[in-house]
Amino acid sequence: MKDMAMPDLSGKIVLLYLEHRDHETTIEAPVFEEHSGRLFLVGRVPTGGSQNDWLGGLKVYIAWDQIQEIVIFNSLDDYYDRMAVAWNDNVMH
């Protein structure tokens, strides 16, 4: 991992689209950790980051090699504001 240029995700909210999943995953303040030779993005599911908030606050490990796309939000407020715009747009159509 030392030779790789990894994004600085300190204090960020990250929306992840993963291989073989039909939904996205959101994690708060993720850090990179290596486990058994694999790189993981490790953080917590933010409040409001899962359906009915059943995963809110739980620690999550996402294998870096399973990530297809990442979207980085500057803060939880930024994430919520943009989610509200998307939700309102879906309701209107």
For residue 93 the two structure tokens come to 């159509």
Is the pLDDT at 4 greater than 70? The verdict is: no
For residue range 8-56, list pLDDT tens digits in order: 898 999 999 999 888 889 999 999 999 999 999 999 999 877 777 888 8
Our count of domains for the chain comes to 1
Is the pLDDT at 3 greater than 80? The verdict is: no
Residue 75 inside a domain? The answer is: yes
Which domain does 34 fall in, by range? Answer: 13-92
Residue 1 inside a domain? The answer is: no
Q: What is the pLDDT of residue 21?
A: 86
The answer to whether the CB of 28 falls within 8 A of the CB of 7 is no
Q: Give the predicted TM-score (pTM) of the model.
A: 0.80
Residue with tokens 């993720």: 30
Residue 27 inside a domain? The answer is: yes
**Cα–Cα distance between 93 and 81 in angstroms, integer?**
19
For residue range 63-78, list pLDDT tens digits in order: 999 999 999 999 999 9
Q: What is the pLDDT of residue 55?
A: 86
